[in-house]
Amino acid sequence: MSFIAGSIDFNKDMTSSDIIKKMSKAINYGSKTAYTDSCAALLATDIATKNCYTAIFSGQIYNLDEIIKKLSAKNYNFENKSTAEIVLLAYIEWGKDCLAYFNGIFALAIWQAHSKNLFLARDRVGAMPLYYYRHNSGIVFSSDIKILLESGGIKREIDNYGLKQLLLLGPSKSIDTGIIKGVKSLKMANYLIFENNCLKEYSYWQIKAFKHTDDLAKTVEKTRYLIDNAIISQLKDCSCCMLSGGLDSSIISMVAARHYKGSKTLYTYSVDFLDNEKHFVKNSYQPSRDNIYIDLMQKFINSRHKYIFLDNLELAKSITEAAYARRFPGMGDIDSSLLLFLQQIKKEHDICLSGECADELFGGYPWYQRDELLYKDTFPWSDATGLRVKLFKGANLENDANEFVNAEYKKIINYTDYLDDDDKKDRRIREMFMLNFYHFMQTLLERSMSMGKGCGMEVRTPFCDYRIVEYAFNMPWKYKALGGREKGIVREAYKDLLPKDIVFRKKNPYPKTFSPIFSEYVITKAKQLIADKNSILNLLVDKEFFEDLTYGRVKLDRPWYGQLMQVPQIFAYLIQLDAFFRNFNLQLV
């Protein structure tokens, strides 16, 4: 796994600074290579230097061969063709416009020693994080917030804004915040220039509204081409897919199997929980279990499949470990189950493909389909502000909670681009797309990438290829929801390539446990923490309301977050909130 980190300080001699040593202590993954000069200290897994330029890079660029050809045509010579070297040569040739050539997920930094200029950039969809902290004489940055904090000089404080992010939006957060006071997140599809002790941030890619001119047949064809191309471009060095038997993971596994037919074995993996068949209760979000569909797909593509069953007590106990891996409070057992799942896959593979992100782009969620959710003037997957205010009574949020959430909601709505002839439905579908892309999808991507990094796995998500994003945003709803079904256009594109039971299967989310073993553990653990005077929960959580939740005297009739975070997951979130404050030794201000 890769990372980048660095510090620019115009008042120190960075060649004699101990900052590299401090940042190195925070890293237990990837190799480490350092660069220092009088003003800069850089640390990364992948680093390249040419003349007065130094580049550090984290992530993957899937069209690297294409960029190499373009640079070779301009007579550039390569030493080792590392990604950092190719990125650096691209920057030397095209400057900031090099970002337009990159199709991938990345966080990168380029330092020009002669002009004392720092260039930071992040991928279009925000799969790779990049945090920075501005101080009087410079800037500190990293793709890992733990490294940032260990660099020194950053107060470990959570102010009122950060606390509201955690308590009113969590596990989501605003796209420009690092939660900790003074720590910023470089927004996706943005680059930053720092020179003359002055910082400026710019956007290099935006989701724009264009007239969709393709007819239905062409739309089906192009949708299939874009998805196939994204999958195949991300198969390099990878022979492993997650397979749930749902439409998205089945498409990825099928395309991979066809691509490798006769040359390589495809390995597929699925996850479930011990005794889940005893406790499973179907609902509108989870209408069926996955095993029948997994078996169908495994036989259809002839993959080498492995079922991984997780122990429910281990799942619950791993919630804290998952919070450490994510660096923030997350989705509780939805995180820890993925961490444990990937730990098992890691025994045999270093890279796997996931079906994440199709629902956000192709209208796969109920809030696209049901008008009462579609036109709800807030985040439809997180409409429990009143419950959150009552639970976190110690934070005194009641006066401006709704105003805060509404401001965050409007911030994303304002990114939306429209066409002049869009009707009310068209406009709202575009807004919902942006809400999903900039908020909900970011939470799920953060989960996938951080749980992967937590066990040394690289998780790739072909559906969030930016070309698919652009095409899906401008696709008319009548095509996207073809046949009145969620992801109708995707079903149509692959209806002749997959078993019909897979194509027309009702959407099922990522599996979760229904075991009372899990619920009992998180309730007991959360109770202990709330009673602990050294825990942040002791200060924030209202004990009586917590008891009401515990004994079912308060019903959760609106989602805490997404489709999977119900009452047991609220308790899991509390455990991760405590872990976040303890792990980073954070204080409220």
Q: What is the CATH number of the domain that holds 140?
A: 3.60.20.10
Angstrom distances, CA of residue 223 to CA of 139, 187, 387, 484:
42, 27, 41, 18
The candidate with the shortest Cα–Cα distance to 230, out of 98, 140, 404, 357, is 357
CB 162 within 8 A of CB 394: no
Specify whether 490 is located in the same domain as 522.
Answer: no
Burial 495-525 (b: 16+ CB within 10 A, else e): eebbeeebbebebbbbbbbbbebbbebbbeb
Angstrom distances, CA of residue 228 to CA of 253, 287, 362, 487:
11, 28, 16, 16
Q: Crossing angle for the helix pair 516-531 and 543-550, nearest 10 degrees?
A: 170
In a domain, 109, yes or no: yes
Specify whether 234 is located in the same domain as 332.
Answer: yes
Last residue of a domain, one of 455, 471, 503: 503
The candidate with the shortest Cα–Cα distance to 550, out of 515, 525, 533, 532, is 525
Burial 401-412 (b: 16+ CB within 10 A, else e): beebbeebbeeb
Specify whether 136 is located in the same domain as 248.
Answer: no
Structure tokens at 486: 């969620």
Q: Which helix or strand (DSSP H or E) is residue 229 part of?
A: helix 216-233
In a domain, 558, yes or no: yes
Last residue of a domain, one of 203, 232, 251: 203
Specify whether 342 is located in the same domain as 238.
Answer: yes
Specify whether 199 is located in the same domain as 317.
Answer: no
In a domain, 425, yes or no: no
Specify whether 194 is located in the same domain as 252.
Answer: no
In a domain, 88, yes or no: yes
Q: How many helices (H) and strands (E) does the chain have?
A: 27, 19
Specify whether 165 is located in the same domain as 232.
Answer: no
- Residue 534, classed as helix, strand or coil, is coil
Q: Tell me the pLDDT of the chain (589 aa) as tens digits.
A: 799 999 999 999 999 989 999 999 988 777 899 999 999 999 999 999 999 999 999 999 999 999 999 999 999 999 999 999 999 999 999 999 999 999 999 999 999 999 999 999 999 999 999 999 999 999 999 999 999 999 988 999 999 999 999 999 999 999 999 999 999 999 999 999 999 999 999 999 999 999 999 999 999 999 999 999 999 999 999 999 999 999 999 999 999 999 999 899 999 999 999 887 765 555 555 555 688 999 999 999 999 999 999 999 999 999 999 999 999 999 999 999 999 999 999 999 999 999 999 999 999 999 999 999 999 999 999 999 999 999 999 999 999 999 999 999 999 999 999 999 999 999 999 999 999 999 999 999 999 999 999 999 999 999 999 999 999 999 999 999 999 999 999 999 999 999 999 999 987 777 778 889 999 999 999 999 999 999 999 999 999 999 999 998 988 887 789 888 889 999 999 999 999 999 999 999 9
Specify whether 474 is located in the same domain as 584.
Answer: no
Last residue of a domain, one of 450, 476, 503: 503
Specify whether 534 is located in the same domain as 475.
Answer: no
pLDDT at residue number 279: 56
Specify whether 190 is located in the same domain as 295.
Answer: no
Is the peptide bond prior to 171 cis by the omega test (within 30 degrees of 0)?
yes
Class of residue 533 by CB neighbours under 10 A (exposed 0-12, middle 13-18, buried 19+)? exposed
pLDDT at residue number 506: 84
Strand partners, 240: 267
Specify whether 494 is located in the same domain as 520.
Answer: no
Q: Supply the pTM of this predicted model.
A: 0.95
Q: Provide the greatest CA pair distance for the chain.
A: 72
Which one-letter amino acid corresponds to residue 353?
A: L
Q: What is the domain extent for residue 356?
A: 216-374+438-503
The candidate with the shortest Cα–Cα distance to 251, out of 284, 272, 288, 226, is 226
Specify whether 186 is located in the same domain as 223.
Answer: no
pLDDT at residue number 203: 98
pLDDT at residue number 281: 59
Strand partners, 198: 195
| Residue for token pair 């900039």 | 438
Class of residue 391 by CB neighbours under 10 A (exposed 0-12, middle 13-18, buried 19+)? buried
341/332 Cα distance (integer angstroms): 14
Count of all residues that appear for the chain in the document = 589
In a domain, 548, yes or no: yes
